[in-house]
Amino acid sequence: MMKWICIWIGCMMLVTPNARAQSPWPKVAAMDWSGISPGDFDDSELEIPYLLHHFHRVANAVVETGEHRGFLDLPVNRDPKDNKPYNARILENNLALAYFYTVDRPWNRYRGDVGVRARLEAMLDFWCRSQNPETGLFAEYSPDNWSMAPTGFGVVHMSRTLELLHNAANSNGPAIDAGVLERTRAAQRKAIMALLTREDMFRHASSWSNQLAGVYRAALIHLQHDPNDAELRRALHAGAKRAVEVIQSPTGFLYEAGGMDIGYSSVHERFIAYAYHLIQTDPTLTQTLRPEEEAWGRWLSFNLLKQPGDRPEYFVNASAQTRTSHAYQELRDWPQAEHVESWRAFMLTDAERIERRKNRREVLQRDWPKFPELVVPSSWSYTPSEFFTATSGVNWCAPSEAERATSIASLPYLSSVNFNTRAMDTRRGWAFDYIRRPSYYACLVSGKPQQRQGFGLGTVWNDAMGIVIQGVAGTENLWGTRIDSKLRETEDVAASIRVGQRQAPMSAGWTDLPKGDLVANYSMPAGEKTITFAEDSIRVRVRQTGAFTEQIPLIVRVDDDLSTAGDAITLRRGKDRMILKLSPKTSARLQERTPALRGRTDYQRVMVLLDANDALDYVIRFESEPDAEVDR
């Protein structure tokens, strides 16, 4: 008899967990907004109502049975075509479930909800089962695509989930299954160690820097929970040091698709921002990462161009970007500026942050309790990024107006009116030359571009007018010479660049060149092209047998006057003007104006087309009308 009782108990031990897993989950109810107002949400939570409103639909999409139990079968985060069970990126929304399951706020009707708990446990379990047991990596685009992106993004989102669960446990809040939690922490540690120690991860990060940055937060949260994990702490310090060596160009930009992309590098900096309060508790890590931030600040200071006006706004030196067409830089709200002064020029002040939150709250109040529809399918309609800072207790320090003004005044093209400065990336053989003269600032790129880039003259800026010429990677808005529909500057621009008789050096990093005219010369299919950055103008000389068209991408204000007359094209902005002086018999055309910035009408793009045969010369110069005399 005892034998059969033992057999029965053993069978029940095997069956009961599975039976419990397969029992129907309670549906997660739609949000009940009765008795809740915008005033119940603090300033860090103003994006949460939309996510809260649609949470039930996201939670109820967690697969309940079968081999994919725990997968989120709703395409609202990442490309819908990639919403597959093998794609660990989809599981990043485990953070949404953990957030609403744990946070103790008066508006959170889901705290401790048994239906949310069941789905959260299933998602965590599925995430653990999705991990490669040998390498610790996760997959994204195919079942065996074990790689950095799903692993790096996975651990940073899981770090916030584990943080929320840990905080809830410490405050006698909602709990989850201890076995699931233990497996999740083990899988998290294994993934963190893979990112910090595997050489193939560092090789990949050397071209895709943003995919590694989240590991710092993940490792530091793990060490908060297990401060005696000396092996992981050593891996964190050694891995961070190794990462800094490979992910950043000697010029200061962070490699994205093997090159420069200010737009995409914001992902890297955002993950550093999410971890910043934790990084400051680790002196070794702080010492390792601070030079990276300072070098990135220097790069930005040459490549973000301030428009005239009291409130700063910045256009981007954008023609050489490798992943995006990021042409305009919004003011950021990142804590790194507390310690890196060069960043402050590009940050919101405390007063502006308060004003932005006030405006957001007014919109919430006006529409309450109506919210935008959840777009399905969509790549971005329900993303978990807001859960990192909402109700986190982390306060960021923004610069004062005076601190930002000091940083702006230190921008190189504002603090000096005459320099030739070179930034050389020796890995790609790319040279970025920055030329400042009393009437203009220009950016020139040479080397062999990648497919979407355009080299040559990328940007021209003037103190009074702001940006007037801007090339943008990945678009038709690039500067250069078009021959038989092919833009020469999308091919190898192996330019000879000299100041006087001195050739510009090819050494890595930053070099201050001698003062004087900087001359760039490179070959054409049947001729050559020369650009001279003189004291008072930019002179372009093209020699190319046969017909060709020079294109110049202008940025104009909506009320600017742009006109052609004789051998000149004039862009007037108030009392200031840019003049394109053309060689005789050049045919000039102006394409129609198009919006320069999404959602705005004040800036427009106009392509200037200069048709020529065999030869073309033109000069770019700036003039300002003198103030009228006042009768005394």
Residue showing tokens 């018999």: 585
pLDDT class for 625, splitting at 50, 70, 90? confident
377 cis-preceded (ω within 30 degrees of 0): yes
Residue 632: is its pLDDT beyond 90? no
Q: Is residue 571, in this structure, part of any structural domain at all?
A: yes
Q: Is residue 111, in this structure, part of any structural domain at all?
A: no
Task: Supply the pLDDT for residue 6.
Answer: 42
- What digits encode the pLDDT tens for the residues 487-501? 999 999 999 999 999
CA angle 306, 309, 313 (to 5 degrees): 40
Q: Which residues of 531-556 are buried (b: 16+ CB within 10 A; e: fewer)?
A: bebeeebbbbbbebeeebbbbbbbbb
Average pLDDT, the chain: 94
Q: Is residue 273, in this structure, part of any structural domain at all?
A: no
Task: Supply the pLDDT for residue 119.
Answer: 98
Task: Supply the pLDDT for residue 590.
Answer: 96
Task: Supply the pLDDT for residue 9.
Answer: 35
Q: Is residue 578, in this structure, part of any structural domain at all?
A: yes
Q: Residue 369 and residue 46: Cα distance in Å, rounded?
A: 13
Q: Is residue 224, in this structure, part of any structural domain at all?
A: no
- What digits encode the pLDDT tens for the residues 510-528? 999 999 999 999 999 999 9
- State pTM to two decimals: 0.93
- Do 5 and 13 touch, CB atoms closer than 8 A? no
User: CA dist 542 to 52, 488, 523, 537, Å?
Assistant: 60, 12, 10, 16
Task: Supply the pLDDT for residue 627.
Answer: 62
Domain that holds residue 534: 416-624
Residue 19: is its pLDDT beyond 80? no
Task: Supply the pLDDT for residue 546.
Answer: 97
- What digits encode the pLDDT tens for the residues 177-225? 999 999 999 999 999 999 999 999 999 999 999 999 999 999 999 999 9
- Token pair for residue 627? 């103030």
pLDDT class for 43, splitting at 50, 70, 90? very high
- What digits encode the pLDDT tens for the residues 300-355? 999 999 999 988 999 999 999 999 999 999 999 999 999 999 999 999 999 999 99
pLDDT class for 22, splitting at 50, 70, 90? low
- Token pair for residue 271? 């993950």
- Do 438 and 418 touch, CB atoms closer than 8 A? yes
Q: Is residue 285, in this structure, part of any structural domain at all?
A: no
Residue 440: is its pLDDT beyond 80? yes
Q: How many domains does the chain have?
A: 1
Residue 134: is its pLDDT beyond 90? yes
- Do 302 and 256 touch, CB atoms closer than 8 A? no
Residue 247: is its pLDDT beyond 70? yes
- What digits encode the pLDDT tens for the residues 61-118? 999 999 999 999 999 999 999 999 999 999 999 999 999 999 999 999 999 999 999 9
In 3D space, the residue among 407, 394, 192 whose CA is nearest the CA of residue 273 turns out to be: 394
Average pLDDT over residues 619-628: 85
CA angle 424, 426, 431 (to 5 degrees): 35
Q: Is residue 567, in this structure, part of any structural domain at all?
A: yes
E strands of 438-479, at which residues? 440-446, 456-462, 466-470
pLDDT class for 282, splitting at 50, 70, 90? very high
Average pLDDT over residues 231-252: 98
Q: Is residue 103, in this structure, part of any structural domain at all?
A: no
Average pLDDT over residues 257-286: 97
Residue 168: is its pLDDT beyond 50? yes
Label residue 543 left, alpha or beta by phi (over 0 means left) and psi (-120 to 50 means alpha).
beta
pLDDT class for 3, splitting at 50, 70, 90? very low
CATH number at residue 426: 2.70.98.70
In the chain, pLDDT over 90 holds for what percent of residues? Answer: 93
- Token pair for residue 151? 């692993």
